[in-house]
Amino acid sequence: MLNLQILGSGAATPTLTRGVTAQYLNFNERKILIDCGEGTQLQLRKFKVKFQRIQYIFISHLHGDHYLGLFGLLSSMHLLGRKTKIHIFAPPELEEIMEVQFRLTYVKLNFEIIFHPIKLKEKTLIFEDHLLEVYAFPLKHRIPCYGYLFKEKLKERGIVKEMIEEFDLKIPEIIQLKRGNDVERENGDILNHLEFTTPPPKQQSYAFCTDTKYIESLKEIIEGVDLLYHEATFMHDMLDRAKATFHTTAQQAATLAENSNVGKLLLGHFSQRYGNTVDLENEAKAIFENTTCVEDGDVFLLK
């Protein structure tokens, strides 16, 4: 189960209608915050997300509109009694900024921060447990910036129930077959796992890509994801400005989604020059129909 809530959908500076980048992701009961611009703690309150339950925070890069809400959020977690550790994945400089800021302002949190520095040149597995894996990959922005791919762990194959009785399968045999291994019995019989099991369910996945130039080769990383969030700071008539500021146009993001066979495309991080997103969405939909320009508070659910 994947439940994504948009907390902030705007670029650069927060406004009364769009917060800066932040998203809350509940993926198989892993409670995740992605980016944390100023005001994120208030957006969490506004959209009734219980922020003490957040276990993991992933920060794309250290531009203010993507991380400046972190100190206030951690501070509020502390003041409201948090004792549970939290994991932060972010460019390494953030650890020093936090250390200096906490030290010079006499802050001693009542909970542990486990900091995972992200500095890499290619797609890398940075987290896994038995239900989820997370990959980071470099984007192309004015400063080091990373995308994150959240992917359900491959589940085991399903055993065909009728076969259990028919072949009197023992539990160790079932375990092997579900793992995709064939089984040789004492009498020499070979049980082919393909005959005894059904394929595992498709792995759900979500890719988060902001802020970045258009990168055609991203399709190798995000191929087939169910949900792709990609920045679309500008419309394509501002391609030069997009290139100069290391951002993407709606048309480019849609082209990437189309080439990568994603399930659904979410666009965000809109320049404040756009009063509404009708034209941005239409530009994208001309290339990739299943596109939504997100608003603060939007929820996207995959079951």
Among 30, 31, 93, 243, binds a second copy (CB under 8 A): 93
Provide the minimum distance between the beta carbon of 270 and a second copy in the complex, in angstroms, as a whole number.
15
> Which among 120, 123, 91, 89 has a CA at the least distance from the CA of 218?
123
Question: Which pair of tokens denotes residue 179?
Answer: 């793992």
> Is there a catalytic annotation at residue 35?
no
59 binds a second copy (CB under 8 A): no
Provide the minimum distance between the beta carbon of 277 and a second copy in the complex, in angstroms, as a whole number.
20
The interface with a second copy within residues 99-128 (CB under 8 A) comprises 100-101, 104-107
Provide the minimum distance between the beta carbon of 37 and a second copy in the complex, in angstroms, as a whole number.
8
CB 131 within 8 A of CB 6: no
97 binds a second copy (CB under 8 A): yes
81 binds a second copy (CB under 8 A): no
Cβ proximity to a second copy, 45 vs 202, nearer residue? 45
Instruction: Print the binding letters for residues 235-254 with a second copy: x by CB under 8 A, - otherwise.
Output: --------------------
Rounded-to-integer distance, Cα 60 and Cα 68, Å: 12
The long-range contacts involving 167-173, CB below 8 angstroms and separated by at least 24 positions, are 167/191, 167/196, 169/196
Provide the minimum distance between the beta carbon of 6 and a second copy in the complex, in angstroms, as a whole number.
17
Provide the minimum distance between the beta carbon of 181 and a second copy in the complex, in angstroms, as a whole number.
49
Rounded-to-integer distance, Cα 169 and Cα 132, Å: 30
Which contiguous run of DSSP H or E holds residue 194? helix 193-196
Contacts (Cβ under 8 Å, ≥6 apart) of 98: 70, 71, 113, 115
What is the C-alpha end-to-end distance of the chain, expressed in Å? 5
Count of all residues that appear for the chain in the document: 303
Provide the minimum distance between the beta carbon of 52 and a second copy in the complex, in angstroms, as a whole number.
12
46 binds a second copy (CB under 8 A): yes
274 binds a second copy (CB under 8 A): no
CB 137 within 8 A of CB 221: yes
> Which among 97, 100, 145, 96 has a CA at the least distance from the CA of 118?
145
Instruction: Print the binding letters for residues 5-34 with a second copy: x by CB under 8 A, - otherwise.
Output: -------xxxxx------------------
38 binds a second copy (CB under 8 A): yes
295 binds a second copy (CB under 8 A): no
Per-residue CA distances from 256 to 42, 69, 237, 264 (Å): 33, 30, 18, 12
The interface with a second copy within residues 137-166 (CB under 8 A) comprises 142-143
Instruction: Print the binding letters for residues 252-271 with a second copy: x by CB under 8 A, - otherwise.
Output: --------------------
> Which among 145, 36, 142, 139 has a CA at the least distance from the CA of 91?
145
Which residue in 65, 211, 226, 296 is the catalytic one? Answer: 65
CB 28 within 8 A of CB 152: yes
Applying CB under 8 A, which part among 28-36, 58-66, 122-130, 203-211 lies near a second copy? 58-66
Rounded-to-integer distance, Cα 7 and Cα 24, Å: 7
Residues that bind a second copy (CB under 8 A): 12-16, 38-39, 41-42, 45-46, 62-65, 68-69, 71-72, 75-76, 79-80, 93-94, 96-97, 100-101, 104-107, 142-143
Question: Which residues are marked as active site?
Answer: 65
